[in-house]
Amino acid sequence: MVLTRVVLNQADIDRALTRIAHEILEANKGSQDLVLLGIPRRGYPLAVRLAAKIAAADPTVDAAAIVGQLDVTMFRDDLSHQPTRPPYPTQLPRTGIDNKVVVLIDDVLYSGRTIRAALDAIIDLGRPRIVRLAVLIDRGHRELPIRADHVGKNLPTSSSEKVRVRLEETDSVDGAPDGAPVNEVVIEATA
């Protein structure tokens, strides 16, 4: 039997993202040279939401012009141990990433291997001045020396549990009426 427990609801996610947006601006002492790169699938919608919040806090920012998507599929270290993954598009903002402050955005930070792949992918695309990392959930169990600069919620978990992030841009609840928005983080544990 699978036990599910909601740890963040829609309002919690929204508050966490608002705080992260302000933290990003604070750490960068403003919005200059900021580029937000979301990692598919769920990092990208989070990056779009963060960009909108940054633009709301700083009217000089054009949200669409600072957000991009970074696919890391081809840089993973587990390609030969998993079913074939089709790559997602990589789209950089028009300004590129050279000499920019790139903030990587993902939904869950776990082993750190996705971020390792993302760092490799970034280096092949250009040379940012600084790379930072923002995640919605940090669930621990790191396998590499990687940490996040901005965390929505630290979630101590057992590695037998699963953390699922459901966003209205990418997911819908099974059995819910079509188009019902979902914005929550749940922990699934097998009892």
Partner 1 sequence: MRHLLSTEDLSLHDAIRILDTAEEMAAVGEREVKKLPALRGRTVVNLFFEDSTRTRISFEAAAKRLSADVINFAAKGSSVSKGESLKDTAQTLAAMGADAVVIRHWASGAPHRLAATDWIDAAVINAGDGTHEHPTQALLDAFTMRRHWSKLAGTPSAGADLKGMRVAIAGDVLHSRVARSNVWLLRTLGAEVTLVAPPTLLPIGVDKWPCAVSFDLDETLAQGVDAMMMLRVQAERMNASFFPTTREYSRRWGFDDNRLRALDSLGLKDTIIMHPGPMNRGLEISAAAADSPRSTVLAQVRNGVSIRMAALYLLLSGENREPAAAPVSASASHAANPNLTYSHQESH
In the Cβ-directed half-sphere of 36, how many Cα atoms lie within 13 Å?
A: 32
CB of 106 or CB of 184, closer to partner 1: 106
**In the bound complex, what is the minimum distance in angstroms from residue 152's beta carbon to partner 1?**
14
Cβ-based nearer residue to partner 1, 18 or 111: 111
Signed CA dihedral, 7, 13, 15, 21: sign only? positive
Q: Which residues bind partner 1 (CB under 8 A)?
A: 71, 73-75, 78-90, 106-111, 113-114, 120, 123-126, 139, 162-164
Quote the least distance from Cβ 169 to partner 1, whole Å: 16
Note whether 135 and 152 are within 8 A (CB): yes
Q: At closest approach, how far in Å is the CB of 51 from partner 1?
A: 21
What is the spatial distance between Cα 5 and Cα 152, in angstroms, rounded to a whole number? 18
- Of 108 and 167, which CB lies nearer to partner 1 in the complex structure? 108
Between 124 and 174, whose beta carbon lies closer to partner 1? 124
> Which of 134, 36, 44 is closest to 89 using CA atoms?
44
Please, are residues 36 and 105 in contact by the beta-carbon 8 Å criterion?
yes
Cβ proximity to partner 1: between 61 and 165 the closer is: 165
Query: Which three-class secondary structure state does DSSP give residue 61?
Result: coil
For the bound state, the minimum distance from the C-beta of residue 24 to partner 1, rounded and expressed in Å, comes to 21
CB of 1 to partner 1, least distance (A): 16
**Torsional class of 186: left (φ above 0), alpha (ψ -120 to 50), beta (otherwise):** beta
What CA–CA distances, in Å, run from 119 to 23, 42, 88, 172? Answer: 21, 18, 17, 30
Cβ-based nearer residue to partner 1, 58 or 161: 161
Minimum distance of partner 1 from residue 127's CB (angstroms):
9
Q: Can you tell me the distance from the alpha carbon of 40 to that of 114, in angstroms, rounded to the nearest whole number?
A: 11
